[in-house]
C-alpha cells in the first residue's frame, strides 16, 4: 500500500473512460430507451382509443338495431292499419255497389210492375168492356157510352 504515480495515471484513465461512455455508449442507449418508452406509451394510447372506438361502435350498432326494430314494428302496424282500411273501403264500395244494384233492380221491378199493371189494366178493361159489350150488346151503344167506359177504365 504505497502511493506512487499510478494514482495520476489511474486518474487520467478514469476521465478517458468516462468521456468515452459519455460520447459513445450512453447517448444511443438512452435514446433507444426513450424511443421505446414513447412507442409503448403510443401503443397503450392506441389500445385505449381502440377500446373506446369499439365501445362507441357497439353502442351505435345497438342503437341501429333498436331503431330498425322500431321502424319494422311501425311499418308492420302501418301495413296492418292500411290493410284494415283497404278492407273497410272495399266493404264500403261493395255495399254501395250492392245498394245501387238493389235499387236498380227495385226500380226495374217497379217499372215492370207498373207496366204489368198497365197491361193488366188494359186487358181487364178490354175484358170488362168486351164482357160488358157482350152483356149490353143489345142495349148499349159503344160510341154513346164511351165516356162512361173511359171512367171505368180509369178506376181500374
Residues that bind another protein (CB under 8 A): 1-11, 13-15, 17-18, 20-22, 24-33, 35-36, 39
Beta strands of 93-137 (E only): which ranges? Answer: none
Rounded CA separation 86/79 (Å): 10
Spatial CB neighbours of 142, under 8 Å, sequence gap ≥ 6: 133, 149
Give the HSE-up count for residue 133: Cα atoms under 13 Å, Cβ half-sphere.
10
Q: Which is nearer to another protein, 31 or 91 (CB)?
A: 31
**Which residue number, 25 or 64, has a Cβ lying nearer to another protein?**
25
Work out the angle at residue 153's Cα, subtended by the Cα atoms of residues 147 and 156, and round it to the nearest 5 degrees.
145
When the beta carbons of 35 and 55 are compared against another protein, the nearer one is 35
Nearer to another protein, 13 or 109 (CB): 13
* CB closer to another protein out of 36 and 117: 36
Give the phi and the psi of residue 143 in degrees, each rounded to 5. -70, -40
Rg (Cα) of the chain, in Å, rounded?
61
Work out how close the CB of 55 gets to another protein at its nearest, in angstroms, rounded to a whole number: 30
Q: How far is the CB of 3 from another protein (least distance, A)?
A: 4
Shortest gap between Cβ of 63 and another protein (angstroms)? 41
CB of 42 to another protein, least distance (A): 12
- Give the whole-angstrom CA distance, residue 38 versus residue 32: 10
Shortest separation between residue 24's beta carbon and another protein, angstroms: 5
Amino acid at each position: 500500500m504505497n502511493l506512487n504515480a499510478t494514482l495520476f495515471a489511474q486518474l487520467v484513465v478514469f476521465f478517458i473512460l468516462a468521456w468515452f461512455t459519455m460520447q459513445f455508449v450512453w447517448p444511443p442507449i438512452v435514446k433507444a430507451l426513450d424511443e421505446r418508452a414513447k412507442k409503448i406509451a403510443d401503443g397503450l394510447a392506441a389500445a385505449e382509443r381502440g377500446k373506446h372506438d369499439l365501445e362507441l361502435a357497439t353502442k351505435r350498432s345497438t342503437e341501429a338495431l333498436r331503431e330498425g326494430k322500431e321502424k319494422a314494428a311501425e311499418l308492420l302496424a302501418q301495413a296492418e292499419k292500411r290493410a284494415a282500411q283497404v278492407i273497410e273501403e272495399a266493404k264500403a264500395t261493395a255495399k254501395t255497389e250492392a245498394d245501387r244494384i238493389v235499387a236498380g233492380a227495385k226500380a226495374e221491378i217497379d217499372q215492370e210492375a207498373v207496366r204489368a199493371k198497365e197491361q193488366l189494366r188494359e186487358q181487364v178493361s178490354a175484358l170488362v168492356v168486351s164482357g160488358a159489350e157482350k152483356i149490353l150488346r143489345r142495349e148499349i151503344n159503344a160510341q154513346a157510352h164511351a165516356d162512361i167506359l173511359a171512367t171505368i177504365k180509369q178506376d181500374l
